[in-house]
A and B are shown apart, each in its own frame.
Chain A
């Protein structure tokens, strides 16, 4: 006596366009003809998934089709409790027989049933438990991805601006753009006017994708204004950055920014109490952001 049952599984897939061939798994059929067992399981909330692959889909229709198919297997979905003395030999037209599914290959349908694949099921595990395992592997996408905490640019701006305003720093958070030599619109995130203009920009590297384009744009704007002759010669530039504490893959981009800022004499402040205090003093002082 073998310890494994020979069973067959097939996937029920939604195919919106046979020519494009894109498909998504919506259901799963497990059949064990020798044990008179056949069962189907399907996605409970499938509408959003269907619409993601094809926005104009009649999701209700697909849901009804899948449910109707599942109902066909309902009478055979009981786990066989006892070993059969004589293994069942159902005909090809019987729902527990893998050939039965060939009837669903009509070539026009929105639902496609894949060819049955052999799967050996441990008798101690049982068919119903195997169906659950298959469902977990083939229908559900694991969502236990741990989200890395991140600080977005707007969060960084909010935190630092709140602290600066609490220390009575006069700050314009949506300053106008400044025409330079090359571009008419050089825009920074904050501006403080005290004897001379002090431009501040905010960049967060503690997010999934490093803000490389934004950083490059900022440095280019600074270079543009500095090359603008007498108009901007007293302007000071500073950048407030969030170091990549959680997203270590951004570390190299962050260090590159520090080097570039050092080269172009742009003051750098991190989002931490000591640096915010230093920034406040510089913004309120006579010295400004000059390095």
Chain B
């Protein structure tokens, strides 16, 4: 059993206007960002969003990648009585039970940096650039398009999901948020419109190409291969342990056989990761030139 927290107080919504993510406080008065089960199920990944987010983030933690901590948070009736607005649809429609909590960190996102025209500065102060390779490898492994991928639609960057935390004056540490679309979102129920969105039929391209990773030369083949070797060491029992931490309320609709299939697919994909990394990173200088040419 991993971390189980008890919500003792409520602060407010994370962002003005987005009422579905709320900040709660645990027994140590530490802030956690909580998305209600009801609102999580309305996203692309539907019933699997919470499962995906929890399992993928715990897997990333296993590989020591820069992701915020996740936990299971118990929201009690006593708290909902004190803050009745949380039950309403506008505040995410919370009900008593277990919800997914992500540790709240204060800092800036890439979009804030871009808006302030400070991406250069942000890039210069980041101290954990090597971990960018790990994120790209991990996103490719789990088929997570949430951060950035180059699809037929062209370059797409989710700037709000790259987060910079201030450690000491002059030093930033980047972190990636958003793992609810790992295992390509709703990995089984989706209709056959896009074949890459089916379980085990994941794209054979690198994902997680943030422009800042590529332009800033943060990606490096040695570091990528080091991370590939690391994730190949992950065993079925490691993954099963993580899946067993997931509360039953989050996986009611997911049959055991599907989970089994997902885990086996992950292990199978891990063995083929080296080829993808080699192919893609060899092409990187060319692609960089393309991007520089683009206005």
Q: Are A252 and B124 in contact (CB under 8 A)?
A: yes
A247 to B125, CA, bound (A): 9
Q: Which residues of B contact A208 (CB under 8 A)?
A: 168-170
Q: How many chain-A residues does the 8 Å CB contact rule pick out?
A: 25
Interface string of B24-58 (1 = CB under 8 A from A): 01011110000000000000000000000000000
Q: In A137-185, which residues have CB < 8 Å from any B CB?
A: 137-138, 145-146, 148
B82 touches A145 (CB 8 A): no
Q: Which B residues lie within 8 Å of A134 (CB)? A: 29
Are B78 and A133 neighbours in the complex by a CB distance under 8 Å?
no
Contact (Cβ within 8 A) A253 B124: yes
Q: Are B29 and A120 in contact (CB under 8 A)?
A: no
Kindly identify, within residues 25 to 71 of chain A, every residue whose CB is under 8 Å from any CB belonging to chain B: none
Is the CB–CB distance between B8 and A249 below 8 Å? no
A40 to B79, CA, bound (A): 23
The proximity string for B residues 65-105 relative to A, scoring 1 for CB distances below 8 Å and 0 otherwise, is: 00000000000101100110000000000000000000000
A3 → B minimal CB distance (Å): 9
Asked whether B260 is an interface residue with its Cβ less than 8 Å from the other chain, the reply is: no
Query: Taking each of A209, A247, A249, which has the highest tally of chain B beta carbons within 10 Å of its own beta carbon?
Result: A249
**Contacting pair B124 A118 (CB below 8 A):** no
Tell whether, in the assembled complex, residue B78 and residue A249 are in contact, meaning their CB atoms are under 8 Å apart.
no
Q: Which residues of B contact A118 (CB under 8 A)?
A: 9-10, 79, 82-83
* B267 contacts the other chain (CB 8 A): no
Flag if A133 contacts B28 (CB, 8 Å).
yes
Would you call A248 an interface residue if the criterion is a C-beta within 8 Å of the partner chain's C-beta atoms?
yes
**A120-B171 contact, Cβ under 8 Å, with A133-B28, A137-B29, A248-B127:** no
Judged by a CB distance under 8 angstroms, whether B19 is at the interface is no
Q: Report chain A residues within 8 Å CB of B212.
A: none
Q: Which B residues are in CB contact (< 8 Å) with A120?
A: 6-9, 76, 78-79, 82
Of chain B, the residue at the smallest CB distance from A134 is B29
Classify chain B: how many residues form its interface, as a range. 20 to 34
Complex: A146 Cα to B221 Cα, angstroms? 33
Q: Contact at A209–B76, with CB atoms within 8 Å?
A: no
How does the 8 Å CB contact mask read for B259-280 relative to A, with 1 for contact and 0 for none?
Answer: 0000000000000000000000
> Is B124 within 8 A of A121, CB to CB?
no
* A89 adjacent to chain B (CB < 8 Å): no
A145 contacts B168, CB within 8 Å? yes
Q: Is B234's beta carbon under 8 Å from chain A?
A: no
Give, as a whole number of angstroms, the nearest-CB distance from A64 to chain B.
29
Whether a CB of chain A sits under 8 angstroms from the CB of B126 is: yes
Beta-carbon contact of A4 and B25 below 8 Å: no
B11 to chain A, nearest CB (A): 8
Query: How many A-B Cβ pairs are below 8 Å?
Result: 59
**Residue in A125, A138, A248 with the greatest tally of chain B CB atoms within 10 Å:** A248
Residues of B within 8 A of A249 (CB): 124-127, 170-172
Find chain A residues with CB under 8 A from B168 CB: 145-146, 148, 208
Bound Cα distance from A253 to B282, whole angstroms: 28
Let me know if B78 and A4 touch, CB within 8 A: yes
Kindly provide the distance from the CB of A251 to the nearest chain B CB, expressed in whole angstroms: 9
List of B residues within 8 angstroms of A136 by Cβ? 29
A4 touching B126 by the CB < 8 A rule? Answer: no
Residue A6 is within 8 A (CB to CB) of chain B in the complex: yes
Name A9's closest neighbour in chain B (CB-CB).
Answer: B9
Given A133-B28, A208-B170, also A119-B8 (CB < 8 A): yes
> A252: nearest residue on chain B (CB-CB)?
B124
Q: Flag if A125 contacts B27 (CB, 8 Å).
A: yes
Q: Given A6-B82, A145-B168, A249-B170, decide whether A119 and B124 contact each other with a Cβ distance below 8 A.
A: no
B58 CB to closest chain A CB (Å) equals 26
**Nearest B residue (CB) for A208:** B170
Complex alpha-carbon distance, A37 and B28, angstroms: 20
- Chain B residues with Cβ below 8 Å from A117 are 9-10
Cα A213 to Cα B6 with chains together (Å): 51
B82, closest chain A residue (CB): A118
- Indicate if the CB atoms of A119 and B9 lie closer than 8 Å: yes
- Nearest-CB residue, chain A, relative to B79: A120
Residues in A with CB closer than 8 Å to B10 are 117-118
A196 at the binding interface (Cβ < 8 Å): no
The digit string for B160-184, where 1 denotes a CB below 8 A from any CB of A, is: 0000000011111000000000000
Interface residues of A in 240-254 (CB under 8 A from B): 247-249, 252-253
A117 to B29, CA, bound (A): 13
Contacts of B29 in A (CB 8 A): 119, 133-134, 136-138
Q: A118-B9, A137-B29, A145-B168 are in contact. List 16 more A-B contacts (CB 8 A).
A: A4-B6, A4-B76, A4-B78, A6-B78, A118-B79, A120-B7, A120-B8, A120-B9, A120-B79, A133-B29, A136-B29, A247-B170, A249-B124, A249-B125, A249-B172, A252-B124
- CB<8 Å pairs between A and B, sample of 11: A2-B78, A4-B6, A6-B78, A120-B6, A120-B9, A120-B78, A122-B8, A133-B27, A137-B30, A145-B168, A249-B171
Could you tell me which A residues sit within 8 Å of B by CB distance?
A: 2, 4, 6, 117-122, 125, 133-134, 136-138, 145-146, 148, 208-209, 247-249, 252-253
Q: Which 8 A-B pairs have the closest CB atoms?
A: A118-B82, A137-B29, A208-B170, A120-B8, A119-B9, A249-B125, A208-B169, A119-B8
